Every structure is written in structure tokens, then in C-alpha cells.
């Protein structure tokens, strides 16, 4: 019976990277006994088919490069996969070592603004702040980026107002 759990575990891992906890949960849902699951997980780990460090790094890369999420959200996603905090921290540190946090935040902000360079009003400023915080960026970085965009908008509005006053 443990052979069946091992084969089912391999099939699960053939589809996508899974953490040890995710494999255990899915094998239990398939009705395998706890002993069979333990044997299968031990064998999968020994053969390096199951590696939480590799899974944590894959999640971190996906969350940053494709979903454009910040450090906090990436850590949450890794922990949600059942990977311990120390492994998550190592993976995040390694991935974020090669990433510019500011550029990542700017990319997420540009995506949300859909090409517009400025923030229209305080309500949009607040909405963008909530969005970026939800994406896992730190509040001081968010405020810096949004304030810079907001200042450009006010400066541009001020220039337009001055031009309109001189036309009158």
C-alpha cells in the first residue's frame, strides 16, 4: 500500500512543485494511511523529488516575477504552502537579493494605473495604497512611490492652473 502512496506522490509532483505538507494532505485525501504517507514522503525526500527549499524558491520567483508581489505577500504565500518560516526567509532573501524592491513596486503601480503617470485624487491615492499593501509591499515604500506620483500630479495641475490664469 505504501508503494501506491509513493506512486501517487510522484504523480502529484510531476504536475507541479508541492511542499511536503501539501503532498501529505493530498495523499491523505486520496485515502492513504498515515504510515504509507510517511514512508512515501521519506522516499520522495530521499530521492529529492520532494524539497521544501526548492518549492519555496519557486513560489518566491513566481510571486515576484509574474505576479509582481512584495516581500510580505511572498512570505505569506510560502507559509501558506506549509513551509516553515526559516526556509521561507532564506528563499525570500535569495530571490530578493537580485530584485530591486523599488522597481518591483513601480511595476505593480504602473500595472494598476494602466499607463497613467499620475494619481488623480486622494481617493485614488488611498485605493492604490490599499492595493499595494495587499500585494505585500512595505508601507514606507508605498508612501514614497505614491507621494512621488501624487506630487507630479499636483505639479502638473498647478502648471495647468497657472497657464489658464495667464490666458484669462
Query: How many Å apart are CA 6 and CA 36, to the nearest integer?
Result: 8
What is the mean predicted confidence (pLDDT) over 128-132?
Answer: 95
96 with 136: CB under 8 angstroms? no
Which pLDDT score, from 0 to 100, does residue 162 have? 44
Question: Measured between alpha carbons, how far is 117 from 100 in angstroms, rounded to an integer?
Answer: 20
108 and 157 assigned to the same domain: yes
What is the percent of the chain where pLDDT is above 70? Answer: 88
Choice between 160 and 86, residue whose per-residue pLDDT is larger: 86
Question: Are 118 and 160 members of one domain?
Answer: yes
Task: Kindly state the average pLDDT of the residues 7-26.
Answer: 96
**Confidence at 158, pLDDT banded by 50, 70, 90:** low
Are 44 and 9 in contact by the 8 Å Cβ rule? The answer is yes
The mean of the pLDDT values for the chain is 88
Per-residue pLDDT tens digits for 50-90: 999 999 999 999 999 998 899 999 999 999 999 999 999 99
CA 45 to chain centre: 26
38 and 7 within one domain: yes
Q: What is the pLDDT of residue 3?
A: 80
Which carries the bigger pLDDT value, residue 98 or residue 161? 98
Count of structural domains, the chain: 3
Q: In the prediction, which pLDDT does 150 show?
A: 77
* Residue 81: domain span: 52-97
* Cα(125)–Cα(58) distance, integer angstroms: 32
Q: Which three cell numbers stand for residue 165?
A: 490664469
| Rounded Cα distance, 134 and 106, in Å | 15
Cα dihedral angle (81, 83, 89, 94), rounded to 10 degrees?
Answer: -80
Q: Do 42 and 81 reside in the same domain of the chain?
A: no
Amino acid at each position: 500500500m505504501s508503494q501506491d502512496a509513493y506512486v501517487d506522490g510522484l504523480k502529484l509532483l510531476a504536475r507541479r512543485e508541492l511542499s511536503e505538507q501539501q503532498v501529505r494532505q493530498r495523499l491523505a485525501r486520496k485515502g492513504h494511511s498515515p504510515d504509507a504517507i510517511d514512508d512515501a514522503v521519506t522516499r520522495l525526500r530521499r530521492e529529492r523529488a520532494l524539497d521544501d527549499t526548492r518549492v519555496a524558491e519557486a513560489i518566491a520567483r513566481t510571486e515576484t516575477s509574474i505576479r509582481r508581489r512584495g516581500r510580505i505577500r511572498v512570505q505569506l504565500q510560502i507559509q501558506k504552502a506549509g513551509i516553515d518560516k526559516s526556509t521561507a526567509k532564506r528563499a525570500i532573501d535569495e530571490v530578493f537579493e537580485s530584485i530591486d524592491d523599488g522597481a518591483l513596486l513601480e511595476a505593480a503601480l504602473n500595472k494598476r494605473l494602466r499607463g497613467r503617470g499620475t494619481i488623480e485624487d486622494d481617493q485614488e491615492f488611498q485605493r492604490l495604497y490599499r492595493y499595494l499593501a495587499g500585494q505585500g509591499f512595505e508601507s514606507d515604500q508605498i508612501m514614497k512611490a505614491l507621494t512621488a506620483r501624487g506630487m507630479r500630479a499636483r505639479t502638473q495641475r498647478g502648471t495647468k492652473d497657472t497657464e489658464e490664469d495667464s490666458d484669462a
